[in-house]
Structure 1
């Protein structure tokens, strides 16, 4: 049995949703880099904190999902070994298992927190530039 894009493991929907989150983060990165998005520092810090906390909770789920890799008590018969292998693949297989997808999700949550911090820095830089320009204008 082969696993194509996580479909055999039953997580193709989660994988697609993860791809959408990654694309959204890439779009945010472009907006920040292009100067189209900045955030007030307190709001950015608050949002970043929420995403960091959520990532921490997902990390706990990763540990739990990883534990599903070893399912004792299914016996040493071929059917028991085959079932245990299926559980193992669903738990962790390097890219599309539950633990793998959760790990990627936690990374995207942390990436979003970092994007909010970048937006905050953009806001601060813009604010400082405006202040500097106003000071120069008033001195002339």
Structure 2
């Protein structure tokens, strides 16, 4: 494996970008700077979950990558099959671990959207209470 990255350096960078986005959302929600309309937040969360389901479907087919056949019993064929398997399963940079981590981060992002909706509801409730106190 060239550079030990399994050929997925770009995918790992993309995962880091999604992770950064999720952290930013959580930070903004935690600081009270992001509150989303509950309908908008739920649509965003569901869209993210659709992506997770698509990735899960893809992972169910990864056994085809890890059980590559047809390259023969010669050492060269076996080495090539092993390289494909390594690219799929390498713990630090293989396709399967990267997709699993992306799914985890996306689920955290869906949770962050829902947390932003809770803040919106809390703010809305607080405003309603304040207005009611002012009327009385």
Question: Do Structure 1 and Structure 2 share a fold, with TM-score over 0.5?
Answer: yes
Query: So what's the TM-score if we normalise by structure 2?
Result: 0.92
Structure 1 or 2: more helix by fraction: 2
Q: Distance in 2 between matches of 1:136 and 1:66?
A: 62
**CA offset at residue 107 of structure 1?**
1.7
Mark the CA change 1:129 to 1:17 in structure 2 (over 3 Å): closer, same or farther: same
The number of equivalent residue pairs is 136
Task: State which of 85, 88, 93 in structure 2 corresponds to 1:88.
Answer: 85
1:103 lines up with 2:100 in the alignment: yes
Q: Secondary structure at the match of 1:68?
A: helix
Unaligned runs of 5+ in 2: none
Deviations 1:55-93 (A, max 9, x none): 100111122234301111222221122111101011112
The equivalent residue for 1:32 is 29
Whether the 8 Å contact between 1:63 and 1:99 is mirrored in structure 2 is no
Q: Distance in 2 between matches of 1:24 and 1:45?
A: 17
Task: State which of 1, 17, 22 in structure 1 corresponds to 2:14.
Answer: 17
Whether the 8 Å contact between 1:66 and 1:99 is mirrored in structure 2 is no
Mark the CA change 1:122 to 1:66 in structure 2 (over 3 Å): closer, same or farther: farther
Give the root-mean-square deviation of aligned CA atoms.
1.5
Q: Distance in 2 between matches of 1:31 and 1:66?
A: 40
1:56 lines up with 2:53 in the alignment: yes
Mark the CA change 1:133 to 1:120 in structure 2 (over 3 Å): closer, same or farther: same
